Amino acid sequence: MKTVVLIALTISTVFTFAQSSQNMGTNLENDFSKSTLGAENVAAFEVRAKQKVVDFCNYIQLISNKNFDEKLRLHSQKSALKLFNSNQCVVNDSLITGNDSLILVSDFFDAIFETEHQQIVGQASNIVLEDELTLTETGDYAGTITYTQTLTCYDEEGNVINTIVENKIVGVILSRKTKSFGATDKMIWVVNLCDIQPQA
């Protein structure tokens, strides 16, 4: 009974995080459908980018957790991919690759889904905007965020079997993309993560 209540509370917390995070991002991105952005607008997207780093680590737990329904885990995997600028973004993680090689973000989430561990709890801390979002020649904004990523692996009995702490650097892209709102398409600003690599 205790386990069932714990799982229900975890799922409830996860849905709350996903819904509030999605609503915050949607409202922000809808507000800035104009072609140019002011400094305050860009600063708001920088805050949103930091939140997406936290979301990325939270999705690791959702996708990996074998206590959750498989449909929920697969849906979480699709949602997690939307954090990134494209499916061509790459991730380095020694827990998955075992070395410094880079893999596509889609392959990373596949590996998280198929992990041998019962669940992997991800946590992002010390999140710092290393390079502010700056306008590029393409008309997009680009910057970087550094953070400390902690991944804790658990077995079926809930025992910690491995903890990996790594300092990461992630690219951030703020660009205009077409989004559908009912029968209407709008060009809006969207901030996304891109390559995640070890911090030098």
Report which residue type is found at 94.
S
- Identify which has the larger pLDDT, 16 or 144: 144
- What CATH number matches the domain at 2-198, 3.30.70, 3.10.450, 3.30.230, 2.40.170? 3.10.450
Per the structure block, which two tokens stand in for 18?
Answer: 């996903």
pLDDT digits (tens, 9 = 90+) for 59-74: 999 999 999 999 999 9
Gap between the terminal Cα atoms of the chain? 47
pTM: 0.83
Mean of pLDDT over the chain: 86
For residue 14, pLDDT over 60 is answered with no
SS3 content of the chain, % helix, strand, coil (to 5): 40, 35, 25
Instruction: Tell the residue number behind the tokens 């911090």, with chain if given.
Output: 199
Per the structure block, which two tokens stand in for 64?
Answer: 């990996």
For residue 9, pLDDT over 70 is answered with no
Backbone angles phi, psi at 110, to 5 degrees: -60, -45
For residue 105, pLDDT over 50 is answered with yes
| CA proximity to 193, closest of 150, 112, 129 | 129
CB 176 within 8 A of CB 187: yes
Show me where the domains of the chain are located: 2-198
Collapsing DSSP to helix, strand or coil, 153 comes out as strand
Per the structure block, which two tokens stand in for 164?
Answer: 């990996």
List residues bridging with 144 in a β-sheet.
131, 171
Burial of 197 per CB tally in 10 Å (0-12, 13-18, 19+): middle
CB 147 within 8 A of CB 171: no
